[in-house]
Structure 1
Amino acid sequence: MKKRIFALAILMVAVLFSNEIVAQKFQPLDKSPMDAAAFPSSYRVSDKLVKVIYSRPQLKGRSVAKLAPAGKVWRTGANEAAEITFYKDAKFGGKDVKAGTYTLFTIPGDNEWTVILSTAKNVWGSYFYKDSEDVVRVTGKVSKSEKPIEAFSIAFDGEDNNATMYLGWGDTLVSVSVKG
């Protein structure tokens, strides 16, 4: 009898603690979910050249120009500014960049975008952007996408250690070379 009471007591304690774990409050899915893009893009390749972590705002009937106005510094996504990590020294848009993590800002334009790597860390938006923290500024070439892109997206394409980073949103594609 004592063994059964002891076993029942253990079971009740386990149920009590398991309810505490289940009672945790998790945040709902973000409206602009976080994503990552890397080169090489295969998750099975651990020897990466570059990776970007960013949030993906959606147009939802709005224009790119309204959400990322021409001539103004943009966080390159939503929420926290995008972060780009180079795992080895590289050429970004033809300019030398040391291995490390940087904040990725952009200045949209009609024919070209300025793409900025900054030393700023843990930045919400671009509200406190300082050009004194710029590492490099390069020109991103603008072209038109074949299909509209609802959610802001970043992708890489290339071979070996020669890649192109693409930023896509609406009918806009911006490309910047990345070479290891």
Structure 2
Amino acid sequence: MKKIVLPLCFAFMMVLSTQATAQKFSGLDKSPADIASYPTSYRESNKTMRIIYSRPQLKGRSLEELAPAGKVWRTGANEAPEVTFYKDVTFGGEKIAAGTYSLFTIPGDGEWTVILNKNLNQWGAYTYDQEADVVRVTSQASTDNESLEAFSLAYKDVEGGVHLIMGWGTTRVATPIMF
């Protein structure tokens, strides 16, 4: 009898302990995180830069509602994006040392101000400190026929570097980055 009771008790305890430690996972983030690295090929491990950002969705709202003109915007959702340059670059015509920076923008009519800020781990632009800006550059904004539901970052190769393209809705903002 003892030979049967002990294994049954052990099996019963295993069943109960599995349910006691079960985890509840939340659903997908409404603005999922993404990474835009350059070079973009996954086969290239020697990257020049990387941006970690969240991708808000329009969901029937206008870009102007979500990123108002003339106000500092975190350039995405959730935490402000973090840009890591693995070597010194020229960002919008300004020399920037290798390192990691927060990315903010100020939307405007026909041009946006693109900001690299030295304060990291910032949620939104709520604690944004202009005194921590490393550089502010003016970038041209244009429109495209294709509308992007999710905020997106991409790179366009140009001689001597790339243009960082920020797109959302039909708005496109290009900032030159030279290596």
Q: In structure 2, what is the equivalent of residue 39 of structure 1?
A: 38
Equivalent position of 1:129 in the other structure: 128
Counterpart in 2 of 1:114? 113
Separation in 1, partners of 2:40, 2:3: 57
TM-score of the superposed pair, with normalisation by structure 1: 0.88
Task: Indicate the SS of the match to 2:65.
Answer: helix
Paired letter, 1:117: L
Between the two proteins, the alignment pairs up a number of residues equal to 179
Bigger mean CA deviation after superposition, 64-73 or 39-48:
39-48
Instruction: Show the 5 A alignment for 1:6-155.
Output: 23-155=22-154
Unaligned runs of 5+ in 2: none
Matching residue of 1:169: 168
CA distance in 1 between counterparts of 2:28 and 2:143 reads: 31
CA displacement at 1:40 relative to structure 2: 0.3
Matched letter for residue 170 of structure 1: G
Cα deviation, residue 157, structure 1: 2.3
What value does the CA root-mean-square deviation take over the aligned residues? 2.2
Percent sequence identity is: 54
Q: Which runs of 5+ in 1 are unaligned?
A: none
Q: 1:20 to 1:60 in 2, by over 3 A?
A: same
| AA in 2 matched with 1:173 | R
The separation in 1 between residues aligned to 2:44 and 2:11, in whole angstroms, is 45
> 1:27 Cα shift?
2.2
Can you list the C-alpha shifts for 1:81-112, whole angstroms capped at 9, x where unaligned?
Answer: 11110011111111111111100000001110
